[in-house]
Amino acid sequence: MSSIVAYMQQNHRQCDELFAQAEEAVANSDWDKASNSWQNFRSELFDHIDNKEETILFTALEAVNGPTGPTMVMRQEHAQIRALVTQMDTALEAKDSQTFLGLAETLMITTQQHNMKEEQILYPMMDNNLSNAAELIAQMEN
């Protein structure tokens, strides 16, 4: 994968698919499957926002440009996403599908508008500003 935007975009889609599986399992009240799928989604999501973004990419961009508005706001939105995921953990434990699915709808749109900003602006900005993109992608793959 040659660019950060292409690599991260693909990872967003992967998260979306795992999310859809968890959501479907909850809707069918298949709680064992729901729990597994939700864990798969959680670990992919947190790997995406904690490791790939906040640890590797944001740090690299901030090292070149100094602390920037966009990464700061993205970190705030990650906090909002984490808060929603925690609420959904509680709903799943309580097998409360109504609350889980309501929050799922909110999380879906929150992450999609977040992803749109990253894909439209932040990742292309990284591809333009960071000379070691290939190295960073290799680091994220490990």
Partner 1 sequence: MRLEGLSFDNIPPLHVPLRFFNTAPWMGVLAAIALLSGFSDGLRSQWSPALMAATHFITLGFMAMVMLGALFQLLPVISGVALPAAKPVAMLVHLCLIAGTLLLSCGFLIPNYQLFWVALPLLLIAFVCFLSSLGSLLIHQLRGGNSIFTVRLAALCLLMTIAIGLLRALTYIYPHTLLNLPHVTYTHLGWGLGGWVLLLVMGVSYQVIPMFHVTPEYPTRLARWIPCGVFIALLLLSFFPAASVQFVGLTLLCTCAVVYSLTIIFLLSKRKRKLPDITISFWRLAVGSLLAASILLFLRYIAEPSFNANNITQATQILIGILTIYGFACSIIMGMLQKIVPFLIYLHLQRQAMTAIELLSTLPHNKLIVPDKRSQWQLRFHIASLVFVSISVFFTALTPLAALLMAVDFAWLGYTIAMATSLYKQHRNRITATIAETISETISETISETISETTAAS
Residue 118 or residue 140: which is nearer to partner 1 going by CB? 118
Q: For the CB of residue 124, give the shortest distance to partner 1 in the complex, in Å.
A: 7
Tokens read off for 69:
């508005």
CA distance 138 to 2: 10
Provide, rounded to whole angstroms, the least separation between the CB of residue 141 and partner 1: 23
Question: Distance between CA atoms of 72 and 131, rounded to whole angstroms?
Answer: 22
Calpha distance 12→16 (Å, rounded): 6
Residues at the interface with partner 1 (CB under 8 A) = 16-17, 19-20, 23-24, 27, 65, 68-70, 73-74, 76-77, 79-80, 83, 87, 90, 98-99, 101-103, 105-106, 108-110, 112-113, 115-117, 120-121, 124-125, 128-129
Closest to partner 1 by CB, 100 or 137:
100
Tokens of 142: 């490990």
CB of residue 142 vs partner 1: minimum separation in angstroms? 27
Helix axes 4-27, 31-46, angle to 10 degrees: 160
Q: And the tokens for 16?
A: 């979306």
Give 2 or 138: the residue with its C-beta nearer to partner 1.
2
Nearer to partner 1, 131 or 142 (CB): 131
Least separation in angstroms between residue 98's CB and partner 1 is 7
Compute the least distance from the CB of residue 5 to partner 1, in Å.
11
DSSP state letters, 32-93: HHHHHHHHHHHHHHHIIIIIIIIIIIHHHHHHHH-S-HHHHHHHHHHHHHHHHHHHHHHHHH
83 or 134, CB closer to partner 1? 83
